[in-house]
Structure 1
Amino acid sequence: MVIIQNLHKKFGKNQVLKGVDLEITDGGIFAVLGPNGSGKTTLIKSILGMVIPNKGYISVLGENIKNNSGYRHKIDYLPQIANFPNNLKVIELIKMIKDLRRPSNKDQHLIKLFKLDPFIDKKLGNLSGGTKQKVNLVLTFMFDSPLIVLDEPTTGLDPISLIGLKTLIQTEKEKGKTILITSHIMSFVEEVSDEIVFLLDGKIYFKGPISKLKTQTGQPDFELAIASLLTNNYV
C-alpha cells in the first residue's frame, strides 16, 4: 500500500526526516505517533505529495509518487485544521467537493451520523470548531478511496460524534481499506489501531502492535510504554 525507503527531508538547516524506511500493508489501521517536531507531519505530507523529500523513494498503491499526482485521487485526506470559505453554506461546500471529485451518495448517511442536519443550510463561518470538524469528516469519508489519512480526527468532537467516528473507521477497515491516523489522544489510538509507527527526531523507533510495544518496554499501560520510548529510545 505504502512503501518508503531512505526518506530524507530538510527545511533549511533543520533535518526533519533522517533516512526513514517504512512499509504499510494493505488493510488495517496504523497510527503515526511522535512528539512535536518528531517528523510525523512531514512524513504524512510526503506521502500525500504536499512535501517534496530531498532524498528517498515513496510508492503509494503501487505507484512511484515522484512527478506523479494521479495517485492522490485514490486517497481521502482529513487535514488537522478545517479551513473552509466562511461565506459558503455547508450544503454548498459538500456539493462543490462532489463536483470537483466524483459523484457520491454517502454524504446523506454521514450527515445523519454526525447530526449535521440542523447546520446544513448555515454558513461555515458561523459554525463552531467542533461542527466544522464534523463537516471535515463528511468531506473525507463521502468517497470510497482505498487509503484514508486522518490528521488529528478527534479534534473538537463531542462524545457522541467520537463514537460515530470510531464506528466509521472500523466500517472502512472491514472493507479492506488502509487508514493512517495521527493523534495525541492515546486512549483513541489504543482503541482503534492495529499497529503504531513511532517517530522520534526524524527516525522510526518502533513499528508494530501495541501489545508488542508493551512487552518490549516492560510497561502494561500504553501511555507508559510511549513514555518509555521517549525516555529510553527503545528500538
Structure 2
Amino acid sequence: MGIKDTAAEWRVNATATPFVGNKTSVRTDEVVMPDGTVVKRDYQVHPGSVAVLALDEEGRVLVLSQYRHPVRQKLWEIPAGLLDVPGENPLHAAQRELYEEAHVKAEDWRVLTDVYTTPGGCDEAVRIFLARGISEAEGERFEVEHEELDMELDRVPLQELVRGVLAGELHNNCLVVGVLSLAAALAGEGVDALRPADAEWPARPFAA
C-alpha cells in the first residue's frame, strides 16, 4: 500500500487580510485545533506557479541565473512564472514562460511533479513540467525587465545538476525538485510513464 496526501480543512473561526500586495497577500486565520484550542496562523496567499525543466537531445537542461533579492543570491533556476489569471491552464502558462525567459518552444510536454513550496507559511502550489523536443522559438524575443535584465542562460548536463544539488551548490526549489524528479524517472519507469501535460491538478483547478 502506498501513501498519499489527502484533502482536509480544520474549522476557521475568523480570517483577516492585513497585507495585500501586487501579486500576493498575507492572511491571518483563527484555526480550531483538534483539542479545541484556537490559534492564529499567518500565511502568504499565492496564485500558484509553473516551472519547466526543458531537456535537449544531448541530455542537457536549460537553466538560467537570476538575482533573488530576499536571499541575496544569484540562483540557477529553470524557467518559471506565476499563474497570472485564476483558473489559467498551467500548460499554457508554462509554454509562455519558456518562450519569455528562454525564447524556446517544445514539442513534447509531461507533468514531472507537483509541489507545495512552503506549506507551513504559504499556499503556493507549483506544477513542474518536463519539456522535450526543444528548439528556438519564432519571432522577436520577449522584452525583459527588472531582475531578468541581468539573466544568464546555459544548458547543463542533467547529472552535473544532480551533483550540484547534492553538493549544496544549487538551491532553487523548482530546479532541485525538477532535477531530482527527472533523475528518479529515468532510473525508474522512464519519462513515458509520467503524467500527461493536461493531468488534473486539484491544488489549482483549470479549464482545458
Q: TM-score range by the shorter chain?
A: under 0.3
The structure where strand makes up a greater share of residues is 2
Considering fraction of residues, name the structure with more helix: 1
TM-score, normalised with respect to structure 1: 0.22
Greater RCO, 1 or 2 (C-alpha within 8 Å, sep 6+): 1
